[in-house]
Structure 1
Amino acid sequence: MERSKSLLSVSVRCALLASAAVVASTALSSRSALAQSPSSSLPPVTVQAPDEAPRPAARPKPRAVSIGARAVRASSIGATAAPPVAGGVQSPGARAPASLTVPTTEQARREIERVPGGVALVPDTEFKNTPANTIKDALGWVPGVLIQQRWGPDARISIRGSGLSRAYGNRGINPLMDGIPISTADGLFDLFEIDPTAYRYIEVYKGANALRYGANSLGGAINFVMPTGRNSPEFEARIDGGSFGYLKSATSVGGFAGPFDWYMTMSAQREEGYREHSKTDAERLNANFGYQFSPDAETRFYLTAGRWRSEIPGEVTKDAALTTPRAANPVWVQQDQQRNIDSVRVANKTTLRFDETTVDFGAFVLERHVMHPIYQWLDFHVHDYGGFARATDDRLIGGFRNRLITGVNIQNGTIDINQYWNVGAAVKGPLAASYLWKSQNVSAYADNSFYVLPNVALVAGAQFLHAVRDQQDRFLTNGDQSGRRTYNPFSPKMGLLWDVDSTWQVYGNISRSAEVPTYDVTTFASPASTDINAQTATTYEIGTRGRRPDLTWDISLYRADIRNELQCLTSPSTPGACTIRNADRTVHQGVEAGLGVAFLKSIFAQEDRFWFNVAYTYSDFRFDGDVTWGNNQLPAVPAHWVRAEVLYKHANGFYAGPNVEWMPQAFFADNANTLTVDPYALLNFKLGYDRGTGWSGYIEARNLLDKRYISTAIAVEAATAASALFNPGMGRAVYAGLRTRW
């Protein structure tokens, strides 16, 4: 029987075509009435409540402008940086020349809103007044970004179903720090290096909307951007503490002198853990040093270093997760499973401006040592290196504005890995395997926006990737598992962006994406596994975003038709490990919606108000006529995910209100759709005070009703009640923090 297409599938495709026709006809008919600005001044759309307080400006404080309920610094878009001051440290009242290498928050907002697709920019004012422990504290309010906590600071992050079956680590998203890759060369990344206290803002590019950085994975890219000495406080310190032994301290300094500027932040955190055998501690350093040769030339060096020591409690059965959630898997305890990482990354980025053209180029090197006793004792060294060059040309062609971005990325690396048997209590036994993994990645991309009208842009782009995965087996007792595979995917994109007026946009796009396998599985263990193909997808997307004085919205609908989806499926015989397999045809489609509405204004004081904010993600991910699984749902992801809050905000910086996290429908843990994760709802509450300068503080309570629930599940082919696949969610917790800056 012919399978019927889902309503959302038909809606997305038809709406995409209809929107293009409506945009073209409506825009053409209203051309004379539109402003002639080449790009709108659309204010930012965020999913969380507006900032708790205005950010203090760098010395001195520039004039603030009001946009809705948020006060932001006046934009410096288009302004020419002031020339460097010769010699000496600037006086407290001196104005720092703008940085070329690192855009301000407002510049980044204007830039990201030129993308005809799902994007988000999250300023630090939305995550600094939180425990700042995990990436969920920073990005948990962005619709479409699913973050499922495993234990402590470790979590699975997925955008539009990227890497959704991962049992450990993450893939399918290109993580960047100031536009420079932080994943290993084969595409795998850990979250421990991400310190939410270290960034000025975070950019989220969903899917092929990340073409600006040459990324073309299903999940897109996340770019973590540090402050510089030109826009940071001279000194900032904070301390956070809370339940289950959580304690974190962080200190940062910044400044500038003549053409030099510097910023450095250091943090240390400890956590005993909600579960048995889940203690973690981490220390992180993030720093950058800039030199401005002239108003049109600047270079910046980056240094990041981290140390992470953690115990792993392991997955348990569904019954154990709900009845004894604080207990660890006894096998994990007996083996003393851990993840310990030391890493250092050094990078440079240089920006040159030539009239209408801006060029960015740089290089990076990463050294990482991973000591990882699990069912085997993994000991490996990662050495990655690469470079990038990107040119942005914005000029008039025949009287029409045209904006072209072209670039080249190189990311190569080796992983030297030895695997030993774990004979118990994290003791190395005999050698079990030894490999040298080599990855090569060279990509070239282009993204062009041609403004057929001052407020309507046609966008076209493409990326070509040449990737090599080479494995040299140095332990031949169990046979030679050496192998080499080359991938050459080509990914085009086309779209349309319409600035309806200065407060809202409509967009649509069609794009291709491609992902090659990572090395965290035995890719060449058998002849069959050498046939693992790159995952490819064609994605259709339409959406709108905007901001009015008391209303914000951000809505995207998408459908991705995927071929050879890379599933990471855990084997019952080796829990904690997974094997990559290509699914035949799958579909990922959904809705990403954020809404903020102000109400009950000036109730207790002038200019106070209540805000209702909601972030909703609908994910319909399923097989598409699979020989074995038919049209079953794909495992490990909820169909509906809702975060909502009512937040009172006073003009003096006080805020308070409840919020909920709600998963209203069960999801499956296996391809066979036999074992489910039950729905749940969590009640939380927060209050705080932040005027943007001096002292600030917060108190936040989570899971007030101490609900027992499952936060994440690993995926298998077919599960039973005895399958140990689940990580229990954290119980009732309270956190508090203080911060000062000047």
Structure 2
Amino acid sequence: MHLATTAVLRHSSLFAVSSALLTLAPFALADDVSPNGDRRLGTVTVQAAKLTDVQAAKAKLDEVAGGTSLVTQAEVEKGRSATLEDTLAYQPGVYAQAAGGNDAIKISIRGSGANTSPGYFREGTKFLFDGLALTGAGGTPYELLDTQGLNYTEVLRGANAFEYGALSLGGAINFVTNTGLTAPGNRIKVEGGSFGWQKETLSTGGVVGDADYYVSIDNSKRDGYQDFTYTKAKGIVTNFGYRFNPKLETRVYLRYREEYHENSGALTLAQLKKNSSQTNVATRDTRADSTKRGSTWVGSKTTYTFDDDATLVAGVVYHDYPQILSKKSTVNPNYWDWRDINYSLNYSRNDDLFGLSSTSTVGWSSTEHVRAGVRTYKGSKDLDILQKQVSYDGSFDHVFSVGNDLGLTDRLYLATGVSAINIKRDVDVSFSDRANTSGLPNHYRYDEWKLAPRIGLRYYIAPDVQLFGNVSRSIDPPSSWSISGSGVTSNYAKPLVPQAANTVEFGIKGKSGIFDGSLALYKSWIKNELLTVEVLPATSTSAAVNSTSNATPTIHQGIEAGLSTRLWEGANGDTLNWRQAYTLNDFHYENDPRFKKNELPGLPKHIYQAELQYQFASGFYAGVNVRSASSTAVDYANTFYAPSYTLWGARLGFDDPGKTWQVYLDLKNLTDKDYVTAIAPSYDAQGKDTAALYPGDGFGAFTGVTYNF
């Protein structure tokens, strides 16, 4: 029996199985009589229903003493599924918003990377595909962060992502790909809607003997709501599995994607209110863009199960992701060349320790630049004037972890663990047309070990309801490129060091009756938080200059609440469901010499999402939804705020019970509200209306049709 299945039976199913045995025992005694008249106990076979992959994953997440959640792609695809903004909606603690409609969306969990603008690599959260790392020493490139080929998505907030070797404040997001077992047959899906959005997807999957396969290809484009935000992309996702014998199986994954997009332009509040679809002069004149010429992520995961049901999982990934920034622009085009190699090895076993049930894990993961660098040119058609060349070869993150989950009683479990991380950043500025006035060498190397312990408790007050609490430490290394980036500055001003946070978290999660939800409260004390600020805005002749630095001590604390409620269920199977998600983001300085206890810019303090949906037993569904966010600080001095907003939407469709057809209509921003989806943080706006606001989309209507055969 798989570990995830064991986890489910340990609690709710254990009660069901016990009840079944007690119910069936009298009938067994009555029905079995020997030839000499003696009554004998008959054989009773109780077989638990086989869990689906989603159910097994959910059960495993429930074993984590902290904030976790799971998103099924089937639920997401009841509406538009264009970017991760759609996939990660209704997830407490997660902020995912697109600016410009491309994949370069802003993603933050518990304030990780809160003040980075959209369009940059994701930082502060580890991203994985099928448990194999996408994130490397340079952060997370975004072109592969699309929704193609997914079965479900796991969200593990903070140190609750311990299993995946994620030590960052934001935790981890693991995207799990469809297989030939979970998505057999052929599928055609066509989508379209406002702002010129089009998307076509073809997929096929199946099982051949001991092998299974899944292949998906897609093509999409969008003209854009805001001026000069055209985007187009195409890609392929594959998943091939083979079972050699009951103990040994392997899978090979491939993701390839090409993407081109123009960058969204930040506006002033006055410009936003007058015409939120316009762009700024600098973006219009420079036509800043990003070209992903072809990113390849290929990985393999092999699982061996020992005679005692212990498992060993070995993984390897090669990731090649070149890109060109501002290729069409006359302002400092950048050519990036990235190649990573990622390894992982995880061993897990179940034992009895001092008569108590015990699950022990040992893990190792490594993400390393085998080739990484950037060349910055002076804007010209021939690109013959080199301004800066930087190499990050050899930079890596190595993580070794040991953990244990001990059943102290039938209801109380103790989770302990410690991770050791070896961080290396090797930065070589081999050429710059500016003199190095920083006082630091052109070749900078950082190499250090850090420890991150964790301890947690979970107590089951009912078979499917648990109280939890944990204390943990997280480590966020700076990305390699943030130490000396692609700009034309002479060199890095000050070496960056990893940020470290001590976090306390407690809450409740589970399901009971008509309710299914979670509530988590946390507080993190952070030293050397990596904060980003726009030093100089973009102009018609120069690119924006951004800087990352370590801050004085900061506090991140908040509330993450999610609740799904079945308000009504008819005799014919119709249901009325209400799901809600609320996030409190309270991020501020502890006592900064300049900014005192000011709020950190980048995220709204309050975010609420809800949807009321009526589901017909026949497959039709219809619902209304709302998203409301409070104002957002734009500068560290807290003199300028992006305004609060409330957006209304609706979606309806038909999901054929026979699984042949699916049709949806998704209406966004029904009132055509002007609102801010992301900001570019500044030090001190001095109360002035600053061009730092990225507009969200206006009213949009989107539809899609899926045919399975």
- TM-score in same-fold range (> 0.5): yes
The residue type paired with residue 50 of structure 2 is S
Distance 1:41 1:158, change over 3 A: farther
**1:725 corresponds to 2:692:** yes
2:556 maps to which of 588, 603, 606: 588
1:601 maps to which of 562, 569, 573: 569
SS of 2:57's equivalent in the other structure is: helix
- Contact 2:534–2:680 (CA<8 Å) still a contact in 1? yes
- Contact 2:345–2:364 (CA<8 Å) still a contact in 1? yes
CA distance in 1 between counterparts of 2:402 and 2:146 reads 31
SS of 1:520's equivalent in the other structure is: helix
CA distance in 1 between counterparts of 2:128 and 2:691 reads 33
1:566-587 CA distances to partner (integer Å, 9 max, x unpaired)?
A: 0011112555331111111111
SS of 2:392's equivalent in the other structure is: strand
The residue type paired with residue 358 of structure 1 is T
The residue type paired with residue 324 of structure 1 is N
Q: Which segment drifts farther, 477-486 or 638-647?
A: 477-486
- Contact 1:199–1:224 (CA<8 Å) still a contact in 2? yes
CA distance in 1 between counterparts of 2:507 and 2:109 reads 16
Match of 1:185 in 2: 137
- Contact 1:458–1:496 (CA<8 Å) still a contact in 2? yes
1:431 maps to which of 371, 375, 386: 386
Unmatched tracts of structure 2, length 5 or more: 1-6, 16-47
1:572-603 CA distances to partner (integer Å, 9 max, x unpaired)?
A: 2555331111111111101000112222432x
Distance 1:613 1:279, change over 3 A: same
SS of 2:373's equivalent in the other structure is: strand
CA distance in 2 between counterparts of 1:231 and 1:410 reads 29
2:164 maps to which of 209, 213, 216: 213
Match of 1:125 in 2: 74
The residue type paired with residue 519 of structure 1 is S
Distance 1:421 1:724, change over 3 A: farther
The residue type paired with residue 176 of structure 1 is L
CA distance in 2 between counterparts of 1:255 and 1:556 reads 40
2:496 maps to which of 523, 528, 532: 532
**1:144 corresponds to 2:93:** yes
SS of 1:715's equivalent in the other structure is: coil
* Alpha-carbon distance, 1:517 to partner: 0.8
1:563 maps to which of 527, 542, 554: 527
Distance 1:526 1:489, change over 3 A: farther
Match of 1:505 in 2: 466
Q: Which segment drifts farther, 637-646 or 523-532?
A: 523-532
RMSD of the alignment, in Å? 2.1
CA distance in 2 between counterparts of 1:440 and 1:600 reads 53
The residue type paired with residue 276 of structure 1 is D
Q: Which segment drifts farther, 668-677 or 191-200?
A: 191-200
CA distance in 2 between counterparts of 1:577 and 1:210 reads 33
**1:76 corresponds to 2:45:** no
Poorly superposed stretches of 4+, deviation over 4 Å: 39-43, 524-528
- Contact 2:148–2:237 (CA<8 Å) still a contact in 1? no
Match of 1:683 in 2: 648
CA distance in 1 between counterparts of 2:537 and 2:664 reads 46
**1:359 corresponds to 2:312:** yes
The residue type paired with residue 433 of structure 1 is K
* TM-score normalised by the chain length of structure 1: 0.84
1:359-378 CA distances to partner (integer Å, 9 max, x unpaired)?
A: 10021111111011164201
* Alpha-carbon distance, 1:697 to partner: 0.6
Match of 1:11 in 2: none
SS of 1:334's equivalent in the other structure is: helix
> Counterparts of 1:165-244 in structure 2 under 5 Å?
165-167=115-117, 168-186=120-138, 188-244=139-195
CA distance in 1 between counterparts of 2:57 and 2:130 reads 12
* Alpha-carbon distance, 1:549 to partner: 3.6
SS of 1:474's equivalent in the other structure is: strand
* Alpha-carbon distance, 1:335 to partner: 1.5
- Contact 1:40–1:455 (CA<8 Å) still a contact in 2? no
Unmatched tracts of structure 1, length 5 or more: 1-34, 44-73, 78-102
CA distance in 1 between counterparts of 2:339 and 2:14 reads 42
SS of 1:326's equivalent in the other structure is: coil
The residue type paired with residue 127 of structure 1 is V
Match of 1:109 in 2: 58
Distance 1:427 1:619, change over 3 A: farther
Match of 2:703 in 1: 736
The residue type paired with residue 389 of structure 2 is S
CA distance in 2 between counterparts of 1:310 and 1:517 reads 26
CA distance in 1 between counterparts of 2:204 and 2:586 reads 46
CA distance in 1 between counterparts of 2:451 and 2:336 reads 32
Distance 1:400 1:40, change over 3 A: farther
> Counterparts of 1:259-298 in structure 2 under 5 Å?
259-298=210-249
**1:155 corresponds to 2:101:** no
- Contact 1:287–1:303 (CA<8 Å) still a contact in 2? yes
SS of 1:204's equivalent in the other structure is: strand
1:658 maps to which of 596, 617, 624: 624
- Contact 1:487–1:534 (CA<8 Å) still a contact in 2? no
**1:396 corresponds to 2:352:** yes
Match of 2:27 in 1: none
1:662-703 CA distances to partner (integer Å, 9 max, x unpaired)?
A: 11x322101000000101111101101113500011101111
* Alpha-carbon distance, 1:520 to partner: 3.2
SS of 2:160's equivalent in the other structure is: helix
Distance 1:384 1:41, change over 3 A: farther
* Alpha-carbon distance, 1:277 to partner: 0.6
1:324-363 CA distances to partner (integer Å, 9 max, x unpaired)?
A: 2111222122212101112011111000001231110021
Distance 1:210 1:42, change over 3 A: farther
**1:385 corresponds to 2:341:** yes
- Contact 2:11–2:464 (CA<8 Å) still a contact in 1? no
1:442 maps to which of 394, 398, 413: 398
SS of 1:129's equivalent in the other structure is: coil
- Contact 1:460–1:493 (CA<8 Å) still a contact in 2? yes
* Alpha-carbon distance, 1:522 to partner: 4.3
The residue type paired with residue 655 of structure 1 is Y
* Alpha-carbon distance, 1:723 to partner: 2.7
Q: Which segment drifts farther, 384-393 or 475-484?
A: 475-484
The residue type paired with residue 398 of structure 1 is F
Match of 1:29 in 2: none
2:576 maps to which of 581, 593, 610: 610
CA distance in 1 between counterparts of 2:9 and 2:251 reads 32
* TM-score normalised by the chain length of structure 2: 0.88
The residue type paired with residue 486 of structure 1 is D
Q: Percent identity?
A: 29
* Alpha-carbon distance, 1:408 to partner: 0.6
SS of 2:322's equivalent in the other structure is: strand
1:83-137 CA distances to partner (integer Å, 9 max, x unpaired)?
A: xxxxxxxxxxxxxxxxxxxx81111111111100000111122112222101011
CA distance in 2 between counterparts of 1:600 and 1:521 reads 52
CA distance in 2 between counterparts of 1:711 and 1:474 reads 38
**How many residues in Structure 1 have an aligned counterpart in Structure 2?**
647
1:294-325 CA distances to partner (integer Å, 9 max, x unpaired)?
A: 11110111111000011113212222122221
Looking at CA atoms only, which structure, 1 or 2, has the larger radius of gyration? 2
CA distance in 2 between counterparts of 1:41 and 1:669 reads 50
> Counterparts of 1:321-336 in structure 2 under 5 Å?
321-336=272-287
Distance 1:307 1:75, change over 3 A: farther
Match of 1:26 in 2: none
* Alpha-carbon distance, 1:160 to partner: 0.2
- Contact 1:701–1:734 (CA<8 Å) still a contact in 2? yes
